[in-house]
Amino acid sequence: MTPIEQLPYFYGIGLAPWEIQFIKNFGGITVEEITVEQIKSVCSTNNINKIFVSETSIIRDADYLFDRMEDKTITQLVIYTSHLFNLPLSLLDRINDEKHDNVVLMSNGHLDKEYPNIKHFCFEEYEHGISHHFNLLLSTRLRTRRNPDKDFLCYTVTKDKFRKLVVDFLKGTDIFDNSITNFAKKSEEIQQPYEDFITSVVQDHGEEFRAPMDVFNRGRPNFESYEKSFCEIVIETRNRGSYHITEKTFRPIAFGIPIVLLAEKQLFDKLVNYGYRFYDHDFYSHWHSDIILGEKLPYLLAFLKHIKQDQSARNSMTEIAHHNYLWFWNNRKNNFYEKLYKFFNDISDGNNTVAGIYKKLNR
């Protein structure tokens, strides 16, 4: 019996173990890793000609892979990338211009411009990962203990010009005089504490608790800070070009914390399109305008002072945070499974574990 007769089957090139597991768990498709050099022999021998390929592999082997599509050795190529902004513009232009109908981008991110001939599916890795049932239990505990007496919470790594300018400006004011802040200069400063934390969780509580904690990466929540802080100032990672929405944004949303979101307009608009809401007081139109960052910062300061001083603003932000909390745990979770089912069902031509077990249940 060939693999394709046993279960839904694709080949994979350069995928990480967790990516293979994600495809199996949520797509009902088993992926067997092969090398680029094996493509011709294994595809023709086993009659399997659909391949998942990592971002590293498509960058390195694009010419060869596209040649194999031309001679029909490969009939479908799914590019799996967690960092869409790592793909060269020349590669995206090539996929778009050559109209490769059977090339699909599966990513944790969004393109910064329209490519009419590129099929692209974004699975919002952080939004889905944080919506693990154990994090819902943590959020439930937080809601019973939250009694904020601090204005703002702001944790960030000032390793790029955007975040450094924002932080340096705010530190030069009195806006943080009743706040909780932590500003690291390099990611390496928080890498070891993160690794130690994951190790202690697995050792003390079991491997099954790795996934709901690991999704936060180095930005895990500090619940004592969340209990005390009214609002989190979120400074997103990517503020030009293709982007993804990280744990920085979805973490406070998942735990019901009001936020001020400092990110590019495309990212902000994407969240609004998803159904999330943000309190505004004539701020975001200035923040998303074309003026230089230095000229935007006084508008940010005025907005933060308004939040500190106006109780009605805090009431509105609390209501919006509650809406976002419910939207995250209910509507967006359902949306994820609906979109994911359709994506994997389409690329597998309906030949996946969901369809297989569905059919067996009818017997």
In the numeric block, the tokens 């509580």 are attached to: 205
Closest CA to 130 of 207, 209, 212, 201: 212
d(CA 338, CA 253): 21
Q: For residue 270, what pLDDT band results from cuts at 50, 70 and 90?
A: very high
156, two tokens: 């960030």
Q: Using one digit for the tens of pLDDT, what is the confidence trace for 39-96?
A: 888 877 766 788 999 999 999 999 999 988 888 888 899 999 988 888 999 999 998 9
- Mean pLDDT (whole number) for 294-302: 97
Written as one string, the DSSP assignment of 27-41 is H--EEEE--GGGHHH
Q: Using one digit for the tens of pLDDT, what is the confidence trace for 159-218?
A: 889 999 999 999 999 999 999 999 988 888 888 889 999 999 999 999 999 999 999 988
Q: Do residues 281 and 313 make contact, with C-beta atoms less than 8 angstroms apart?
A: yes
Give the per-residue pLDDT at 8.
53
Give the pTM: 0.92
In the numeric block, the tokens 């060869």 are attached to: 64
What 3-state DSSP class applies to 313? Answer: helix
d(CA 59, CA 236): 26
Q: Do residues 179 and 154 make contact, with C-beta atoms less than 8 angstroms apart?
A: yes
Closest CA to 233 of 254, 208, 257: 257
Give the per-residue pLDDT at 9.
75
Report CA-CA distances (Å) from 344 to 27, 28, 52, 274, 348.
5, 8, 12, 21, 6
38 against 272, higher pLDDT: 272
d(CA 155, CA 246): 14
36, two tokens: 């680029």
Lowest mean pLDDT among 109-113, 137-141, 221-225, 235-239: 235-239
Give the per-residue pLDDT at 345.
92
Q: Do residues 105 and 118 make contact, with C-beta atoms less than 8 angstroms apart?
A: yes
Domain ranges of the chain: 3-123, 131-329
d(CA 279, CA 272): 11
Q: Is the pLDDT of residue 232 over 90?
A: yes
Q: Which CATH superfamily is domain 3-123 in?
A: Response regulator (3.40.50.2300)
Contacts of 123 (CB under 8 A, 6+ apart): 106, 107, 108, 336, 339, 340, 343
Q: Do residues 288 and 299 make contact, with C-beta atoms less than 8 angstroms apart?
A: no
d(CA 144, CA 360): 44
For strand 9-13 and strand 50-54, is the pairing parallel, antiparallel, or unpaired?
A: parallel
352, two tokens: 């996946």
Q: Is the pLDDT of residue 2 over 50?
A: no
Q: To the nearest whole percent, how much of the chain has pLDDT over 90?
A: 71
Q: For residue 267, what pLDDT band results from cuts at 50, 70 and 90?
A: very high
238-252, 315-329, 342-356: which is most confident? 315-329
Cα-to-chain-centroid distance, residue 53? 19
25, two tokens: 């768990």
d(CA 227, CA 108): 30
β strands within 133-226, DSSP E: 150-157, 180-184
What does pLDDT average to over the chain?
Answer: 91
CA angle centred on 173, ends 170 and 178, rounded to 5°: 90
Count of alpha carbons within 13 Å of 290, Cβ hemisphere only?
0
